[in-house]
């Protein structure tokens, strides 16, 4: 089954007809007579979408939507309002009451199913972005509690300059700055910050010229291109274009409207899409920063131990596949506790950041650099011979030793670095790189043993493991 749809309609014939259509489309159906029954069955049935006869039940629609989204009930269930709306303002009232979209009767079955698919797709995107309170807190997620969404930007794609100006005047009140007008070609050439949050595709003139395929291609192109795929799309069609609206939704349009819609409906739809886009952007940014935080050390910006072990396993597998070497270094700042005790922890942090920066800037882009302990770092160099690994380690040691990590107030602060190196390959030596965690841990342990030998030799020294020498 494709999902569970609840029907709320006081007319039994309407419920039966809709049920037949939805069952044929492989949906499960939960018919209800009124809002009270729907709310009573909500927790048990857990519908994915609710179809509401919004014209006959208009008086209670706002309360129903408010109750539906109150607290922890089912705040993300999309509501699609169906009905014999008397005019464009009746449709607007249903949207204002809380319906996610509306479909006037009589309607095209293809459009009904396309709208259901589109709403479910948006619902799934929202659910994928939802996180538990614990995860939200761990990733630093904070809800926007300011009471309004941030301003968005709007671009109107229109071949008719006068029509574009009319839409621009209509939408300029959305806290979105000045709505821009552009051609389809200009829209597809947008890059970076020039990409708007919402495209309004005025397809009336194009469709009047029997060029529907041009509109379909534009919708698909905007949705498929990396730069514009996350932008919302509102497609404005001539009245009576149900089949075209269905195709537009299935190709990726966020919503459709018609040329006979009230101006307030256009503004409300645009505002809703801008708010949805702002929420999605916020969640994407939070996830991006959360993933970065999960992989990196917050002080130095280097990879942390957890990520380093996983990445190192991948490097080891490639070393086995190619038969090439993998050099692993363990580096430790000498007498780091003395630095903290003498100069304070702020100075110690300054040293860690400075050492990390030198390591990062003086290695290849393919090399792994991580902070794996308080003052301990790990470097993995794929396809590196013993000589190359030793030369890289000596270069790093010398740069650290010759650097001043102090500041003008505290004076000079110099530190040294001890390094242990182990070399693994696919040829069967004592430090052989093998697939799996145990082989990686053995390689790191060999580098640790070499590090201890550097410490025992007086520090500020590079030592290669015996099998790698």
In a domain, 428, yes or no: yes
Cis peptide before 106 (omega within 30 of 0): yes
Residue scoring higher pLDDT (148 or 414): 414
| pLDDT exceeds 60 at position 454 | yes
Do 354 and 427 fall into the same domain?
yes
pLDDT at res. 177: 56
Do 265 and 212 fall into the same domain?
yes
Range in 41-50, 64-73, 207-216, 427-436 with the lowest mean pLDDT = 427-436
Predicted confidence band of residue 271 (pLDDT cuts 50, 70, 90): confident
Q: What is the DSSP string of 91-148?
A: HHHHHHHT-SEEEESS--HHHHHHHHHHHHHHHHHHHHH---HHHHHHTT-----SSS
pLDDT at res. 134: 42
pLDDT digits (tens, 9 = 90+) for 323-348: 888 999 999 999 999 999 988 999 99
The C-alpha atoms of residue 406 and residue 414 are separated, in whole angstroms, by 7
Do 289 and 325 fall into the same domain?
no
pLDDT at res. 468: 45
Range in 29-38, 280-289, 388-397 with the lowest mean pLDDT = 280-289
Pairing of strands 326-333, 368-371: unpaired
pLDDT at res. 76: 80
Task: Find tokens 């008086």 and name the residue.
Answer: 59
Query: What domain count does the chain have?
Result: 3
Do 319 and 286 fall into the same domain?
no
Residue scoring higher pLDDT (51 or 168): 51
DSSP letter (8 states) at residue 316: H
In a domain, 221, yes or no: yes
Task: Find tokens 């269930």 and name the residue.
Answer: 77
Residue scoring higher pLDDT (280 or 67): 67
Instruction: Choose among 355, 214, 377, 216: nearest CA to 303.
Output: 377
Range in 123-127, 190-194, 212-216, 299-303 with the lowest mean pLDDT = 123-127
pLDDT at res. 97: 92
Predicted confidence band of residue 147 (pLDDT cuts 50, 70, 90): very low
pLDDT digits (tens, 9 = 90+) for 355-409: 999 999 999 989 999 999 999 999 999 999 899 999 999 999 999 999 998 875 6
Tell me, yes or no, if the pTM score tops 0.85: no
In a domain, 298, yes or no: no
Range in 381-385, 421-425, 465-469 with the lowest mean pLDDT = 465-469
Do 247 and 181 fall into the same domain?
yes
Do 423 and 276 fall into the same domain?
no
pLDDT at res. 322: 80
With pLDDT > 90 as the criterion, what percentage of the chain qualifies? 47
Instruction: Choose among 222, 191, 220, 200: nearest CA to 153.
Output: 200
In a domain, 469, yes or no: no
pLDDT at res. 26: 94
Pairing of strands 154-157, 101-104: unpaired
Pairing of strands 376-382, 326-333: antiparallel
pLDDT at res. 416: 95
Residue that terminates a domain, selected from 261, 293, 325: 293
Q: What is the mean pLDDT of the chain?
A: 84
Do 156 and 40 fall into the same domain?
no
pLDDT at res. 429: 43
In a domain, 299, yes or no: no
Do 126 and 145 fall into the same domain?
no
Residue that terminates a domain, selected from 260, 293, 326: 293
Do 190 and 339 fall into the same domain?
no
Do 273 and 204 fall into the same domain?
yes
Residue that terminates a domain, selected from 293, 323, 344: 293
Q: What is the DSSP string of 351-398?
A: HHHHHHHHHHHTS-TTSEEEE-SSSEEEEEEET--HHHHHHHHHHHHH
Tell me the average pLDDT across 57-67.
Answer: 91
The C-alpha atoms of residue 81 and residue 377 are separated, in whole angstroms, by 60
pLDDT at res. 317: 84
pLDDT digits (tens, 9 = 90+) for 430-449: 344 444 446 788 889 999 99
Do 318 and 458 fall into the same domain?
yes
Do 72 and 97 fall into the same domain?
yes
| pLDDT exceeds 70 at position 37 | yes
CATH number for the domain including 3?
3.40.50.2300
Instruction: Choose among 90, 77, 76, 83: nearest CA to 9.
Output: 83
In a domain, 184, yes or no: yes
Give the residue numbers spanning the domain of 341: 305-464
């Amino acid at each position: 089954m494709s999902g569970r749809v609840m029907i709320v309609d006081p007319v039994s014939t309407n419920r039966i007809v809709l049920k037949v259509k939805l069952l044929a489309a492989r949906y499960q159906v939960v018919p209800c007579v009124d809002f009270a029954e729907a709310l009573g069955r909500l927790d048990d049935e857990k519908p994915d979408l609710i179809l509401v006869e919004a014209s006959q039940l208009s008086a209670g629609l706002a309360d129903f939507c408010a109750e539906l989204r109150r607290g922890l009930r089912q705040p993300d269930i999309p509501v699609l309002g169906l009905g014999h709306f008397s005019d464009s303002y009746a449709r607007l009232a249903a949207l204002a009451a809380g319906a996610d979209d509306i479909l006037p009767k009589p309607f095209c079955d293809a459009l009904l199913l396309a709208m259901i698919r589109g709403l479910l797709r948006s619902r799934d995107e929202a659910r994928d972005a939802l996180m538990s309170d614990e995860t939200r807190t761990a990733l630093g997620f904070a809800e926007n509690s300011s009471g309004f969404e941030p301003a968005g930007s709007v671009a109107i794609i229109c071949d008719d300059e006068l029509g574009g100006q009319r839409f621009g005047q209509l939408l300029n009140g959305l806290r979105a700055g000045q709505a821009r007008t552009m051609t389809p070609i200009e829209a597809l050439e947008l890059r970076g910050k020039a990409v708007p949050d919402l495209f309004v595709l005025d397809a009336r003139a194009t469709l009047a010229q029997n060029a529907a395929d041009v509109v379909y291609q534009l919708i698909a192109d905007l949705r498929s291109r990396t730069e514009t795929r996350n932008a919302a799309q509102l497609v404005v069609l001539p009245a009576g274009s149900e089949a075209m609206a269905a195709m537009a939704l299935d190709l990726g349009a966020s919503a459709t409207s018609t040329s006979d819609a009230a101006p307030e409906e256009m503004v409300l739809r645009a505002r809703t899409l801008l708010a949805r886009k702002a929420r999605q952007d916020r969640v994407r940014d939070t996830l991006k920063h959360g993933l970065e935080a999960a992989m990196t050390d917050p002080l130095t910006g280097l990879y942390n131990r957890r990520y380093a072990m996983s990445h190192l396993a991948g490097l080891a597998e490639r070393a086995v596949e190619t038969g090439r070497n993998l050099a692993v270094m363990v580096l430790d700042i000498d007498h780091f506790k003395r630095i903290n005790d003498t100069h304070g922890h702020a100075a110690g942090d300054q040293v860690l950041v400075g050492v990390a920066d030198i390591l990062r800037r003086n290695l290849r882009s393919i090399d792994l650099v991580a902070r794996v302990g308080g003052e301990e770092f790990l470097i993995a160099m794929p396809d590196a011979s013993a000589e190359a690994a030793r030369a890289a380690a000596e270069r790093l040691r010398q740069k650290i030793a010759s650097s001043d990590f102090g500041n003008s107030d505290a004076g000079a602060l110099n530190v040294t670095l001890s390094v242990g190196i182990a070399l693994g390959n696919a040829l069967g030596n004592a430090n052989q790189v093998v697939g799996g965690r145990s082989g990686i841990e053995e390689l790191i342990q060999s580098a640790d043993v070499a590090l201890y030998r550097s410490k025992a030799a007086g520090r500020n020294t590079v030592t290669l493991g015996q099998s790698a020498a």
